[in-house]
Structure 1
Amino acid sequence: MRIPLLLALVPLALSACTADPVWAPDAAVEAAVYRDDSPPSITLFTMINNRSNEGGHSGLMINGDQRVMFDPAGSWWHRTAPERNDVLYGMTPLMLKFYIDYHARETYRVVSQTVEVSPEVATRALQLAEARGAVPKAMCGSATSGILKQLPGFESVSQSLFPARIMDSFGQLPGVETAVYYDDDADDNTAVLMTQQHGAPAQPSR
């Protein structure tokens, strides 16, 4: 009896995870490539409910030969960040601000945890993200932790459906740098998404 009940609760806990498969054309992906000057790294983003402290969504930013966001079953998009099955290309500083601003609101804070990695690990992470395919709803935690578990140095990260549990284990990695972003935007972030398509984002507080 307990197993069906647990499975029934999973969609509620991860209700922020929603997406449909998309496939941007080659020209759009190539034009959007962004290379950041900072060292290669893996950044775990976790959206935490401010009322329950439960995790609502997981995303993984990979900074290597280019910087992308693996946003499994995510709902954020931007016309200048082409997507292929949950991998968003062209994660410039502005796009990263947009991503955080979209998720940080009165009911959710955004926790980012960054670990520097070798170029080889960053390349492998991108390969795994691109090969993963579109992630079903409510499976963002499983997809994110599944990729992390396959990377050298990240074997200790929990394989889990629950974003907060993944965040806690990621936080135990050596050298992890953590930042927390708050915003008082309304819970309905549709207006934020529309504003991002035409104007500048509000600056999230750290």
Structure 2
Amino acid sequence: MLLGNMHGSTVQVRHPVICVNNHVFCSICIEVWLKNNNQCPACRIPITPENPCKEIIGGTSESDPIFSPTVRKHLRKTRLELLHKEYEDEIESLQKEVEDLRGKNLSLQTQLKSLLDPTASVLSCQNEETSQSANEAGTSGPETPEEWSKKLKAANEMYEKVMDNVEKLKELSNVYGFRKQ
């Protein structure tokens, strides 16, 4: 597999493997590295059994025959299709997570508004006995507006991070010419 480096030249990598952040290494080199370290040498993200380096399908090895240009073209196309599918799956997963977080965010906003609304305080006085019995029954949760506000802020921050990730994946998808079909 040929990779571009920072000087604009290409480097041949034998038995290439890729980390979660798409850094490519020779499998033998990364095995030696991982004997003493448990993270990617480029980005320091942990490499674990749950988050392993993956072999790149169609990578070159010493014993690989030299393929014709047509076969190499098909291999490249297949690799790109696999990457495209992986990106699309990741985008879909993140979009589902965004929807879940939006629902939680709306729920927390509604709860916070009901706590901060003056008419809600009248209702809370009327329902004080009900909430006390609920607390005694073992249901616990934030009881003050400050606690609700903290939870809402955390949910909003999580939502923003997920949206940033979705945007980055969409940009990468567009850079590599992948379009949802």
Q: Please report the TM-score for the alignment, with normalisation by the length of structure 1.
A: 0.19
| Higher radius of gyration, 1 or 2 | 2
Whose relative contact order is higher, 1 or 2, with alpha carbons under 8 Å and at least 6 apart? 1
